[in-house]
Structure 1
Amino acid sequence: MKYTLMTVKAVLFGLVMSISAQEIPIYLDDSFPIEERVEDALSRLTTQEKVALLHAQSKFSSAGVARLGIPEVWMTDGPHGIRPEVLWDEWSQAEWTNDSCIAFPALTALAATWNLEMSRKYGEAIGAEARYRKKTVLLGPGVNIYRTPLNGRNFEYMGEDPFLASKMVVPYIQGVQSNGVAACVKHFAVNNQEVERGTIDVQVDERTLREIYLPAFKAAVQEGNVWAIMGAYNKFRGEHCCHNDYLLNKILREEWGFDGVVVSDWGGVHDTREAIFKGLDMEFGTWTDGLSWGASNAYANYYLAQPYLKLIKSGEVGTEELDAKARNVLRLIFRTEMDRNRPFGSFGTEEHGMIAREIAQEGIVLLKNDGNILPINPGRTNRIAVIGENAIKMMTVGGGSSSLKAKYEISPLDGLRQRLEPNVEVVYARGYVGDVGGTYNNVSTGQDLNDDRSEEELMAEAIQVAQEADYVIFIGGLNKSEHQDSEGTDRLSMDLPYNQDVLIAELAKVNANFVVVNVSGNAVTMPWINDTPAVVQSWYLGSETGTALAAILVGDVNPSGKLPFSYPVKLSDNSAHAFGEYPGSNGVVRYNEGLLVGYRWHDKMSVEPLFSFGHGLSYTTFAYGKAQLSDKTLLRDGKITCSVAITNTGDRAGSEIVQLYISDKKSSLPRPVKELKGFKKVKVEPGETVVVDFLIDVSLLQFYDDRKSQWVAESGKFDVLIGASSSDIQTTTSFTLK
């Protein structure tokens, strides 16, 4: 019989398809549920292959199973932008030419937007950048609570209030994971200082743990369905957090139902048996000398590598824990790398830059504006003096794991010049010299900030320039150097560095139209506040820093950000320093202040902050109507609505962040005076009135009763307080829980 080539091809194709339909393994067939695919893949792995899934093979990757077509896992810092590629076994960059990212604002700026939509946009954009760069896991966001203004990593977190952090973290996670990239919420848990961060043992009572330090992580798991969580460097009650039975097994897995992977912080693992039995899944960054178990592969020395295999082979440990860990890693891979329907992502795009700008603009906080000297009117201004190193210093390089190689970064000075020139002359004087460095892990800003002039010469020039200008804008604050806003070190004081306080005080004397822009991720002291008519909190705003700041200062955008943490007048007005303990002694830090973190402490002790939690001004004004309840009685299985009318009484459109606090009037255990339990950001046109509704149910009234080890809401009277900040309550009402 004669066959044509086409006939042979057709027969062979049919045969292959027939065999394929029968032989494709379940784990490769995405028509099956993920859990079935995970179990099928697990059944095909050798013990050695399972162990290989659990530890790094390079600085930022772990092995897959090539034999079965299961891909590697690739991690990336950080929460504010996708870190440049590093060498296989070093922190130094690999010097790629196509890994310059969009730098997004730091998470303090995102939290200051109080806007869930901004959080979702942030997550979607940064997740798309991670996906395009072929990353499996984005190591962020961070949700550790702002306990002390000295913490060097506060700029990476979402403020002092657990409710605000809980609400803001969820859409970020959902946005990232919509790209098929896992978010990795960090650092679990009570990681609130950099001093002795790898050894400090945090002692905190159960109620404070549950009410202050865990809610944002719980929301990430149960509402955000996050796929990964990173353990913290510190100890908690004597055990390192990266292998902590209570945190990882009891709370995270058993109570909250987490089914993702627990990733160690880099170098956060300390013992093989602890790691096996106390909740860790993936080990990264462990230091090894590369001498034992083969000098050619130091990663074989990891605690969850050859030492684990040795214990299994000797019969000292079983494989039940190994299977559970491998199952979690496989589930991560199926959710990400083996999801054929995930998008391809995009990187360094104009759209992402515009999202970064939008977030930055919404996060900038107008702290003070006496005499309405802001916004600047370009039509009535001839010359503006810009003074301060932070007007020109690039801030995307440095600060630790959030250091980036940005595609571009518009400085505040350039942003103002682009917006105002040639109609307004913008002159610059440095005023002070701070950190002239601009290199981190071989990533350089390319700036030469060296200046040999004396402090007296710099100040004299600044004062002369200020005297000759219509407006003076001082742009200073902190930077991302050691002992400022940076991973690895805490600040040494709350004061501004580089003698800026003296310079600001002198500038305030020579020009009444004086604006201070503070760039930081932390509160700073302001001894000159009474002599300074306008103060703006700018944060680390990323690629679009200058554009966003200029838009606020000249009024193209009406400021709407509000503080996600309190600004104490002095360090002793912060509870960790006044009543608690920082940074601890003899390797232990005790959170003696308990629940009284941030505004809770100020309320309880009648301490007047410099700027309150939730504070932020606008170029328009808002009037609050009377709070109205749909019912004066709340049943335990019901809900009531609290409504308040907000009227824009100014002459320009603006957005107000309406905050709802609840106060328990009588409780069997001590409670804070009030606690944030709702917020909404609403845009209101001039003369317009909008009604803002809040749903109140029993979940908002609960506290953790450590006598019963459960959340309870006790019957009785509750006050509802609605206002523009924690200290600016505009209207109150009350109801009874029955």
Structure 2
Amino acid sequence: MKKVIVIHLMLLVVGSFQLLAQQQQKDVEKRIDEIISQLTLEEKVKMCHAQSKFSSPGVERLGIPEIWMSDGPHGVRAEIEWDSWNYAGWTNDSCTAFPALTCLASTFNPELAYKYGVAIGEEARYRKKDILLGPGVNIYRTPLNGRNFEYMGEDPYLASVMCVPYIQGVQTNSVAACVKHYALNNQEVWRGHINVKVSDRALHEIYLPAFKAAVKDGEVWSVMGAYNQYNGQHTSHHEVLINDILKGDWAFDGVVVTDWGSAHDTKEAALNGLDIEMGTGTDGLTSSTENAYDYYYLAKPFLEMLKSGEIDESVVDDKVRRILRLMFRTNMSKARPLGRKANQEHFDVAREVAQEGIVLLKNHKSFLPLDPETTQTIAVIGENATRMMTIGGGSSELKTVHEISPLEGIQKRFTKANIIHSMGYASGPSAYGRVIPSHLDADSLKQAAIQVAKEADLVLFVGGLNKNHEQDCENGDRKSLNLPFGQDELLSEIMAVNNHVGVVLVSGNAVAMPWQAQAKAIVQAWYLGSETGHALADVLSGDVNPSGKLPFTFPVKLKDNGAHAFDALSYPGNGVDQVYKEDILVGYRWHDTKQIKPLYAFGHGLSYTSFKIHAAEVQSAQYQAGDFVKLSVNISNTGKQAGAEVLQVYVHDSKAAVMRPLKELKAFKKVKLTPGESKLVEFSIPVDSFAYYDEDKEEWQLEAGQFKLMVGTSSQDIRKTLTIEVK
């Protein structure tokens, strides 16, 4: 009886909160109506476009503030000058650099995503930002995309689950997250104009789910459009993507912002859902007396169309309503917190994300962990052991309070070892939009590294990619899957003189590994931010047991990737159009369905301990639409160390009316276990998630028939398979 009363009281409390929230929203909408009625047409239009590089104007006459934005999504970018891309030279705009979103995705830990969001949101709030431009959720289609490191991998379900708590965490600070880049911005080469042609199935099943989750589940307050075109129309003012899907089907009530310079037409921008235009080509103040920002597409040209009656005033009213709604959530919120910047708690969050995101790809005969008390000679070879990775990369470049290098982290943890560093190779300085070769002699660097390797007991090679143009960097794609700057050849020669070599790859992308068989251990370390060296040393020393899982597939060679399995029209396109010929078979869907063995599979990641899945069972064998499959999995830690495993549940449609992937991720949970400990892990998987998008009916279709639930620890490592029937 008492339990019933408690539940009843809880329902009453929840209901009261919901009623209060609804009333508050009604009050806000009423206030917005009052404000709009007092605005002149000129003032309304002014709110719809930039006034500087990173702000849009308010209305001083009515006390309406400006909106200030900042690049993310891994930290709050240093201050930019009002009207140029030069840094403003402030001394108080350093930040915490958080790990790149590929690392966050590889944690497979939504709770960490929330902590990450809260921390970065606090920093944005402290810096008086109203919109933080992140997270990025574009799908990893090709390993050559220069901006993959900013995204959450190749699987739409993983990206959906991980982006929602990030958004919710940011917005607890009355700072709007801005999910980007909506949509189909899956390469940097020709990004400003390439016209993507993709099936409706692939659009809805692969490329839109994370955006949908951001809107429907994360309740994100702003969305950034993309540069590219889709079916002949630019995506930042797209009738189908924005009017029909985003603001129609998904009922998005926030603000659509351009990517900087992604608006192309006044009437399309006005009528197809764009709310705030930033960074258009007339950037800045001209030498004339008039402000060039007034000539943006949503500025004077928009005003003229409104005055002539070509566009109805209700169009601008809707944009202003959305902008004011965002303001009441951010800079006009009475409950807005103060924020905090670059404190120890934030560095701790950055370190924790890095620790859980690092992926142990290979560990031959337990080469790792290394004994922290070792007195051996350790050769740390590679430019990435000392290179700052918060510099470069484009708009995600950060000015951090500190960045602990891999070498510094190793030196501080392995204090009794004789540690020698040799560069081995050099990449040249960072520069946006161009490659600057190093002035150092490549052969001299190589020979010095080989000599150091000869003298060492073991080698830690810290290489990979960096944030230079044509590496992991905005506005350009990689030229090859192989490691740049002669690293493959250098590694082969190092391994010829020392057979105790562990490789640490710093990158946001998959790379080819012709030396993979000779490496004793391979660690995928990502871009780890401020605490890079500490987190890496935590894992190398065994202070932290690695638990990261790959959020995308490593192909053996480029042609094994679905986007590259066809002609150039599939990637990078012909300069005008591009066709996604692999359709829905992106990443592991391609590899598994086409039976192409990957170098390392999606979801793969080793541990210093071992786990065993003993049993898996479902509550029932039969389901129908609207049901949830109740799945329980028994797992134990059979090793000698505490650790964490990620249980992954894939679904296979046994007999489908349309082509379907061999398997698709539908659930996952990270499970932490002490040695000898067992846990019963329970999943509740919506049967409706087994549906495919029916292009003829333009809706989701759940077929009747058998489905297999495949439980494993990667897309290639399935341990238990169960069969259920859907009516």
| TM-score (structure 1 length as normaliser) | 0.93
Partner of 2:4: none
The residue matched to 2:615 in structure 1 has which SS? Answer: coil
Distance 1:32 1:602 in 2: 50
Q: CA deviation at 1:709?
A: 0.7
Distance 1:182 1:584 in 2: 35
Partner of 1:615: 604
Distance 1:696 1:405 in 2: 42
Map 1:60-459 onto structure 2 (within 5 A).
60-288=54-282, 295-421=289-415, 423-435=416-428, 437-438=429-430, 452=440, 454-459=441-446
Map 1:39-50 onto structure 2 (within 5 A).
39-50=33-44
Q: CA deviation at 1:149?
A: 0.4
1:461 aligns with 2:461: no
Distance 2:398 2:40 in 1: 39
1:564 aligns with 2:551: yes
| Gapped regions of structure 2 (runs ≥ 5) | 1-22
Partner of 1:38: 32
Distance 1:440 1:411, change over 3 A: farther
The amino acid that maps onto 1:615 is: H
The residue matched to 2:693 in structure 1 has which SS? Answer: strand
Q: CA deviation at 1:636?
A: 2.3
1:735 aligns with 2:724: yes
Kindly provide the CA deviation profile for residues 427-449 of structure 1, in whole angstroms up to 9, marking residues without a partner as x. Answer: 111111112x15779xxxxxx99
Partner of 1:3: none
Q: Is the 8 A contact 2:460 2:501 kept in 1?
A: yes
Distance 1:430 1:693 in 2: 48
The residue matched to 2:499 in structure 1 has which SS? Answer: coil
Q: Is the 8 A contact 1:293 1:306 kept in 2?
A: no
Kindly provide the CA deviation profile for residues 588-618 of structure 1, in whole angstroms up to 9, marking residues without a partner as x. Answer: 0001110010000011111000000000000
Q: CA deviation at 1:538?
A: 0.5
After the TM superposition, which of the residue ranges 460-469 and 599-608 deviates more from structure 2? Answer: 460-469
Partner of 1:587: 576
The amino acid that maps onto 2:709 is: V
| Gapped regions of structure 1 (runs ≥ 5) | 1-28, 442-447
Select which of 643, 658, 662 maps to 1:673. 662
Q: Is the 8 A contact 1:384 1:426 kept in 2?
A: yes
**Structure whose alpha-carbon radius of gyration is higher:** 1
Distance 1:440 1:492 in 2: 16
Distance 2:713 2:399 in 1: 38
Q: CA deviation at 1:693?
A: 1.0
Select which of 648, 652, 671 maps to 2:641. 652
Select which of 451, 463, 468 maps to 1:476. 463
Kindly provide the CA deviation profile for residues 430-479 of structure 1, in whole angstroms up to 9, marking residues without a partner as x. Answer: 111112x15779xxxxxx99763x33322222122112222210000100
In angstroms, what is the RMSD of aligned CA positions?
Answer: 1.7
Q: Is the 8 A contact 2:49 2:278 kept in 1?
A: yes
Distance 1:333 1:451, change over 3 A: same
Distance 2:477 2:178 in 1: 24
Distance 1:322 1:625, change over 3 A: same
Map 1:517-596 onto structure 2 (within 5 A).
517-579=504-566, 581-596=570-585
Q: Is the 8 A contact 2:197 2:230 kept in 1?
A: yes
Distance 1:245 1:630 in 2: 44
Distance 1:511 1:700, change over 3 A: same
Q: Is the 8 A contact 2:627 2:688 kept in 1?
A: no
Distance 1:520 1:717 in 2: 40
Select which of 691, 694, 700 maps to 1:711. 700
Q: Is the 8 A contact 2:625 2:688 kept in 1?
A: no
After the TM superposition, which of the residue ranges 262-271 and 573-582 deviates more from structure 2? Answer: 573-582
Partner of 1:23: none
After the TM superposition, which of the residue ranges 533-542 and 627-636 deviates more from structure 2? Answer: 627-636
After the TM superposition, which of the residue ranges 173-182 and 577-586 deviates more from structure 2? Answer: 577-586
Distance 1:290 1:80 in 2: 27
The amino acid that maps onto 2:658 is: L
The residue matched to 2:373 in structure 1 has which SS? Answer: helix
Q: CA deviation at 1:586?
A: 4.3
Distance 1:573 1:326 in 2: 48
Q: CA deviation at 1:696?
A: 2.2
Q: Is the 8 A contact 1:293 1:300 kept in 2?
A: no
1:597 aligns with 2:590: no
Distance 1:374 1:292 in 2: 59
Select which of 629, 633, 658 maps to 1:640. 629
Q: CA deviation at 1:638?
A: 2.4
After the TM superposition, which of the residue ranges 694-703 and 563-572 deviates more from structure 2? Answer: 694-703
Distance 1:495 1:449, change over 3 A: closer
The residue matched to 1:416 in structure 2 has which SS? Answer: helix
Distance 1:644 1:462, change over 3 A: same
The amino acid that maps onto 1:645 is: N
Q: Is the 8 A contact 1:381 1:470 kept in 2?
A: no
Q: Is the 8 A contact 1:232 1:265 kept in 2?
A: yes
Distance 1:440 1:406, change over 3 A: farther
Distance 1:715 1:440 in 2: 53
Q: CA deviation at 1:667?
A: 1.2
Q: Is the 8 A contact 1:290 1:301 kept in 2?
A: no
Q: Is the 8 A contact 1:127 1:176 kept in 2?
A: yes
The amino acid that maps onto 2:219 is: N
The amino acid that maps onto 1:543 is: S
Q: Is the 8 A contact 2:615 2:635 kept in 1?
A: no
Distance 2:283 2:166 in 1: 38
Kindly provide the CA deviation profile for residues 472-511 of structure 1, in whole angstroms up to 9, marking residues without a partner as x. Answer: 1000010000101000000011110000001111111222
Q: CA deviation at 1:315?
A: 2.5
Q: CA deviation at 1:626?
A: 2.0
The residue matched to 2:612 in structure 1 has which SS? Answer: strand
Distance 2:231 2:280 in 1: 22
Distance 1:93 1:292, change over 3 A: closer
The amino acid that maps onto 2:395 is: S
Q: Is the 8 A contact 1:293 1:301 kept in 2?
A: no
The residue matched to 1:103 in structure 2 has which SS? Answer: coil
Partner of 1:699: 688
1:485 aligns with 2:472: yes
Distance 1:696 1:349, change over 3 A: same
The amino acid that maps onto 1:334 is: F
The residue matched to 1:530 in structure 2 has which SS? Answer: coil
Q: Is the 8 A contact 2:432 2:468 kept in 1?
A: no
Distance 1:644 1:126 in 2: 35
Distance 1:123 1:463 in 2: 43
Q: Is the 8 A contact 2:80 2:87 kept in 1?
A: yes
Partner of 2:13: none
Q: CA deviation at 1:513?
A: 2.1
| TM-score (structure 2 length as normaliser) | 0.94
Partner of 1:17: none
Q: CA deviation at 1:415?
A: 0.6
The amino acid that maps onto 2:303 is: L
Distance 1:248 1:303, change over 3 A: same
Distance 1:499 1:203 in 2: 36
Distance 2:481 2:489 in 1: 15
Q: CA deviation at 1:579?
A: 3.4
Q: CA deviation at 1:296?
A: 3.3
